[in-house]
Amino acid sequence: MKLEYNLNFISDKSKKSSIKKALTILERSYARNTEESSLFLDPFEQKVIANIAEKNNIELDFIGGNDLAERKIFVSSSYYEVDQSDYISILEFDHENLSHPDVLGALMSLNLDRENIGDIVINDNICQIAVLNKISNFIRFNLNKIKRESISVRIKEKQNLDIKPLTYIDHRGFVASTRLDILVAEFINLSRSKAKEIIKSKNVKVDFEMIDNPSRIIDENSMISIKKYGRFIFEEITGKSKKGNFHITYKEIRWYIY
């Protein structure tokens, strides 16, 4: 038995590869009617998998340590209530001045695959990481230093990520159209030519999908992630000027999870 799906709408090759890997697991579950779990998926990948599962009448649960987590795994065809601890672990450690890139870089230096790692949450002086159970002990025993800080990784007593709600700065602006390059230029206060360069360099994602086409028209309520600049939500068009420019509102995300 094979699943019905079409991935031709996905232009990002790496994204399509990750989804195909997840579909192999989903297809096995579908054919054998057995419980299966995936690697970690980002929200775009989750949406694609969820749509395919719904089309093929497959029940899925997505878990990631917190309902607000971005990266989650799916558990398919479970006959019982899913127990998160059967699949993922929440690790934590104290630190003084580490950032998300510091922690992720240290994990990658251990030759771990990103798809085995969920959200990395840094609150004050505690870092929490969601990981697949199979790599939990490996990280505990091998991750003992990040940059110049010595750390001691432990299993979090309460197996959940402490994720703070997002906070925003509200903005208003005027744009000639809702093309991606025009919105990026508005959001980060750069020229349109510079915005095009950033997009063509594959440094921009729309709703977690990498887009390298500057002329792509962006829908309202889309999230635009710009590498090294942050994340923005293009909320809505609120009006039009006499010269034909659009009045828009957008939010700058001031705190976000990974």
State residue 1's pLDDT score: 63
The SS3 call for residue 115 is: helix
What is the number of residues in the chain? 258
From the list 42, 157, 149, 34, the residue with the least C-alpha distance to 98 is 149
Q: How many CB atoms lie within 10 A of CB 7?
A: 12
State residue 2's pLDDT score: 77
Name which residue leads in pLDDT, 36 or 78.
Answer: 36
Residue 78, pLDDT > 90, answer: no
Q: Please state the rounded mean pLDDT for residues 203-223.
A: 95
- Residue 258's pLDDT band (cuts 50, 70, 90): very low
Residue 257, pLDDT > 70, answer: no
Angstrom distance (rounded) from CA 27 to CA 244 = 50
Angstrom distance (rounded) from CA 143 to CA 102 = 12
| In the chain, % of residues over pLDDT 90 | 79
Angstrom distance (rounded) from CA 225 to CA 181 = 13
Read off the tokens for 172: 């208003």
- Residue 255's pLDDT band (cuts 50, 70, 90): low
- The predicted-structure confidence for 118-161, as pLDDT tens digits, reads as follows 999 998 899 999 999 999 999 999 999 999 999 999 999 999 99
Angstrom distance (rounded) from CA 144 to CA 138 = 11
Residue 256, pLDDT > 80, answer: no
Mean pLDDT of the chain: 93
Whether the Cβ atoms of residue 161 and residue 66 lie closer than 8 Å to each other: yes
Q: How many CB atoms lie within 10 A of CB 257?
A: 19
Whether the Cβ atoms of residue 25 and residue 36 lie closer than 8 Å to each other: yes
Q: Rounded to 5 degrees, what are φ and ψ at 149?
A: -95, 130
Q: E strands within the chain?
A: 36-37, 60-63, 73-76, 88-94, 117-123, 126-132, 145-146, 149-150, 154-155, 167-175, 204-206, 209-210, 222-226, 230-240, 246-255
Alpha helices in the chain (DSSP H): 13-32, 43-55, 100-108, 133-142, 180-188, 192-200
Q: Please state the rounded mean pLDDT for residues 91-116.
A: 95
- The predicted-structure confidence for 7-63, as pLDDT tens digits, reads as follows 888 888 888 999 999 999 999 988 888 899 999 999 999 999 999 999 988 889 999
Angstrom distance (rounded) from CA 128 to CA 109 = 18
Cα angle at 116 between 105 and 209, to 5 degrees? Answer: 80
Residue 103, pLDDT > 60, answer: yes
Residue 98, pLDDT > 60, answer: yes
One-letter identity of residue 75: V
Chain centre distance of CA 103: 16
